[in-house]
Amino acid sequence: MTAGRLLIIGFGLFGIAAGLTVLAISPPRWNLQRTSERILHGERYSSTQIAEIGALTDGPRRARFADPHIRRAIAIIDFEAARRSTDEGDPAVIDRAADALSSSVRLALVAAPTDPFLWLIFFWAENTRTGFSAGNLDALRLSHAFGPNEGWIILRRSALSLPLYPSLPGDLAGEAVADLRKLMKNGLYKDVVRLLLGPGRNVHARLLPALAAAPVEERQELVAAFDFRGYKLDLTQARIDRIPGR
């Protein structure tokens, strides 16, 4: 596994797993759909728990005809397993988990080809398996096309897209900026700050001029959100500076 692939893995996991801090202390009565929804809503599972859940997917995974909701649940569970695999740091384990995720997402997309989150994790899985390439970008485009305004998807998509911003073609670079503007329009200024200080920290000078075109009220709210975090935002100069003593 190359350093470039590991870099993409790290940013991808931040994008989709950011903010997932609720730990499932005791295993629930495993139900694939319910468990997948809990993963999306922030529950974290130990490697042992993920293995226990994964064992329950063996039968449905082999089924010739499976409920589309089960297919989606398996893909989400496989994503959590892939996320957990990076904690082990073993390239072979990461590759196996990414391969399993790619396979399960493909099956889920056959049943639900307009699911924007499935397209997003498929984009992540393929980048993890083979490295970033232009051939994977259609999956990201389809995530935008089928989920242009779903806030929880925009947050995850932004954190995955922003580190790749210099390599994105014009249409997807524009979509990445548009996603940030949508977050601002909906009052999610703290999330915009988190994205610009985190996955977008190396490209904020290229992103801020576009945000400067937002209505004045939104710009003021964004400046205040940065100030709360101890940073001074200057949209006219496209700068984010740490406030001394904060």
pLDDT tens per residue across span 23-82: 443 444 458 888 888 888 888 888 788 888 887 787 777 776 678 888 999 999 999 888
Q: Is the pLDDT of residue 101 over 80?
A: yes
Closest by Cα among 116, 119, 108, 115 to 66: 108
Give the pairing of strands 22-23 and 43-44: parallel
* Residue 153: other Cβ atoms inside 10 A: 21
Q: Which residues of 216-245 are buried (b: 16+ CB within 10 A; e: fewer)?
A: eebbeebbebbeeeebebebeebebeeeee
Single-letter residue type at 211? L
Closest by Cα among 140, 58, 148, 139 to 104: 58
- Residues 144-158, mean pLDDT to the nearest whole number: 96
pLDDT, residue 30, reads 55
CA–CA distance, 100 with 23 (Å, rounded to integer): 24
Asked whether 123 and 139 are in contact (CB, 8 A), the reply is: yes
Would you list the DSSP string of 54-117? HHHTHHHHH-SS--HHHHHHHHHHHHHHHHHHHHHT-HHHHHHHHHHHHHHHHHHHHH-TT-HH
Secondary structure (3-state) at 187? coil
Report residue 187 as tokens.
């009052």
Mean pLDDT of the chain: 85
- Residues 135-149, mean pLDDT to the nearest whole number: 97
Q: Tell me the pLDDT band of 136, cut-offs 50, 70 and 90.
A: very high
- Residues 104-115, mean pLDDT to the nearest whole number: 94
pLDDT tens per residue across span 198-235: 999 999 999 999 999 999 999 999 999 999 999 999 99
pLDDT, residue 170, reads 96
pLDDT, residue 104, reads 93
- Please state the pTM of the whole predicted model: 0.82
23 versus 188: which is more confidently predicted? 188
Facing residues of 64 across strands? Answer: none
221 versus 84: which is more confidently predicted? 221
CA–CA distance, 216 with 138 (Å, rounded to integer): 34
Map out the domains of the chain as residue ranges.
Answer: 1-147, 157-246
pLDDT, residue 22, reads 41
CA–CA distance, 58 with 32 (Å, rounded to integer): 11
Q: Is the pLDDT of residue 138 over 90?
A: yes
